[in-house]
Each structure stands twice: as structure tokens, then as C-alpha cells.
Amino acid sequence: MITSGYPLSTVPGNLNYFSLIPITLIITIKLGSRGKLWPKNFASYAFFLLLFLTLTSFITNLNVNNLSLNIKFLLVISFSYMFCLFVSFNDFIKFYLKTLKVISIISLIGYSILNYTSLTIPLGTFKNINDVEYYNGIVFFAIKSFSEYGNDGFERNIGAFWEPGLFATTLLIAIVFELWKNKINKVNIIIFLIALYTTKSTFGYIMVLPIVAIIMSKKIKTKRNIIILNTFFIGILTFSVNYLNDILVHLSSLNPILFSKLVTESASVNERIESPLINLEIFKNNILFGAGIGNIENLFISLTESSQTSTSTYFLATFGILGISYTLFFIYGILSFKKVNLTSRLMFLIIILTQINKEPHMYFTLTFILMFYFLKMSSTKSYNFEK
């Protein structure tokens, strides 16, 4: 969690990522002693390709000034890869669901106190590198002020993450994992949905549609009806994204209290369109080996004042044509997970691909852990969820 959107990881001078060094070394030694290091599967192939691309782009671009960022990326993928080899997917899901449940309950309590009572929570504050001020509750954070970005603050629940959209994503993943279990815990689903509602995330609300499709698909048996269901929900999602502003403006006119905040957020979503375009422009000039980690950040800032949001095109611009492998890894890994039906796989893929292209995930261990898990399981003939 502390290396996947944790607010304190955005404080200048933080050492969160250095904690990955001893953990990765310990896991590597234990795997080596068990003879389970470097297994021949797609997760290993992906890991070595990312290592190769990082070193190649670094050498090609003489990227010495950005050595620290390259090391940071190598730490992230090394830890994530070793973690998925060391911890079973079942154990990961159990831990993930328990962690999100605790964060959701604590955040809902804190959110309710801040928004619906006159009580004050005795929490310290800190500012991150973007001058955003947070209340610090270790596992619960609230935005006190956004500096020049606005000031809706703790009216949106961010849980243990630096912004509500990330919290919404982790909740959506938790809901999907819960629905994939042999025995579904309905209490968990309710808690996650309530927490999702309090994020007031446009993305989170729209991505409830794939969740509904997953639920419905579990009750449909015929192939024809599955195709109709998939086509219908993909069509609805496409329509919702294309006409997002119009939909939210109309909803806001019907219920200003509930939907007015989403209209403001959707404007920022539209601004994110510039990020992939700039990345593709950089990619066009660095097709073979990319601009390199760190170097792309400098080029991006020189071309636009917008924020880096599209992770898929970021990897294209960073590593060149082979950078497309990052996105293809998710597509192949998730669609190869035959334990759940095709609708579940498609809808989960939509959630993941949408998220990694609306927020920067270059240094998120959680995202890479998921990628390596699904690639690892794509090489496994059988897999069973525990109850």
C-alpha cells in the first residue's frame, strides 16, 4: 500500500520505496532456497523484458541524470515479481480484501465525523510535493486543502490513498475479487459499495456498470445471451464515456447536491486527453528505444502543463515500440484467466485498462503485482479459488 498511491509517499524526501530493498532481498533468498526462483512462465518473461527495456533505454539515452528514477522502477518491478512468486494468489486476495475492508470501515467513520458532525479529529497535517494538504491518520487521510486546485477537501473519501479516484479503483478491484470467490461475503460488498459512493468518483460510478455485468453473467448460461450481455454493457460504457459531460450536466440539473461535484471532476477527465497525445508525440520521435525513464518526464513538462495520466502511452514513449508490451501483458494475462467466465474477464480488463490510463501507475507495486499474477496464472493449467 505504501508504494501504491499512499499519500505519505508524495512527501518530499520520503524513503518509502527504499523499504522494498530488504523485503525483495529476503523474498529472493527464500525463493532461491526453495528452488522456486525464475520459473519458466509468462510472469518471468515479462519481468526480464521490462529489465531489458529499462537497461536498453537507459544506455541508449545516456540517462545518468535520471539514475535514481531508473533504480526506483527496477525496485518496483523486482519486488512485484518476487512477491507474486512468493505469495499465492489466494493468500493475496484474502489479505487484499481484509486490508480494504479495514481501510473502508475506518475511512467511513472518519468521513462521517468530518462531514456530518461538529466533532474534530485530532490529526496532524502535511503537504505533498503538489502543495496539497492532508490530514494524516496513517490508514485514513482527508484532503484539507487543494491549494490552487480547488477546495472540496474532505467532502470526498480518499481512504488511504492520495486521491479519491485511486481509492475507487482499489474498491472496484476488491468487489470483483469478492464476486470471484466461491462463497461471496455480501457484507464486504455492501461496505465496499458504500465506501465507493463516498469517493464521489466519476470513474468509480461508471465502473459500477462492469460490476453489474459480472453479477448478471454468473446467472446466464447460454453463449448467445453472454454475447448479448457483453455487447450491451460495452455499448453502454462507450456511450457513457463519449457523452459523459452531457450526462452529468443533465443529472446535475435533476439533483445538484449529488451530481454537481461530478461535473467539475469530469472537466479534469477531459483535460487528461492531452496526456496520451503528448506521450505519442514523444514516442513518434523515439520509436525504437524510447526517451527513457526520467527523460520522458522532462520532455513531457516542456511540452505541456497537463499532468501525466496515461500509463500505456507513457511506456510507449519511455521504452519505444516494445513499450506496448505493458498493456499487452494485462490484456493477455486477464483474458487467459479461465477460472472465471469471459464477461468477468472482459469487465475486469476494462476496469484495469481504464484506470491505468486515467492515473499514472508507473511506480505502483499493486498494479505490477496484479499484472505478474495474471501472467503467472496464464501458464497454470488449473487454479481454484478458496472459499
Cβ proximity of 42 and 56 under 8 Å: no
pLDDT greater than 60 at residue 267:
no
Phi and psi at residue 370, to the nearest 5° = -60, -45
Cα(243)–Cα(239) distance, rounded to whole angstroms?
A: 6
Q: How many residues does the chain have?
A: 387
* pLDDT for residue 357: 87
* pLDDT for residue 149: 47
Least confident of 167-181, 225-239, 292-306: 225-239
pLDDT greater than 50 at residue 229:
yes
- Cell matching residue 138: 496513517
Sign of dihedral through CA atoms 99, 101, 104, 105? negative
Predicted TM-score of the model (pTM)? 0.89
Q: How many CB atoms lie within 10 A of CB 305?
A: 7
Q: Exposed/middle/buried for 387, CB within 10 Å: 0-12, 13-18, 19+?
A: exposed
Cβ proximity of 204 and 159 under 8 Å: no
End-to-end C-alpha distance for the chain, whole angstroms: 24
pLDDT band at 263 (very low <50, low <70, confident <90, very high): low
Could you give the 3-state DSSP secondary structure of residue 126?
strand
pLDDT band at 255 (very low <50, low <70, confident <90, very high): low
* pLDDT for residue 242: 62
pLDDT greater than 80 at residue 1:
no
* pLDDT for residue 18: 87
For the segment 60-82, what is each residue's pLDDT rounded down to a tens digit? 888 788 898 999 999 999 999 99
List of residues 6+ apart from 186 with CB closer than 8 A: none
Segment 259-267 long-range contacts (CB within 8 Å, at least 24 positions apart): 261/152, 261/155, 261/156, 261/200, 262/200, 262/202, 262/205, 264/150, 264/152, 265/200, 265/201, 265/202, 266/202
Query: What is the helix (H) or strand (E) element at residue 193, kind and residue range?
Result: helix 186-199
pLDDT greater than 60 at residue 270:
no
More confident residue, 161 or 222: 161
For the segment 25-54, what is each residue's pLDDT rounded down to a tens digit? 999 999 999 888 888 899 999 999 999 999
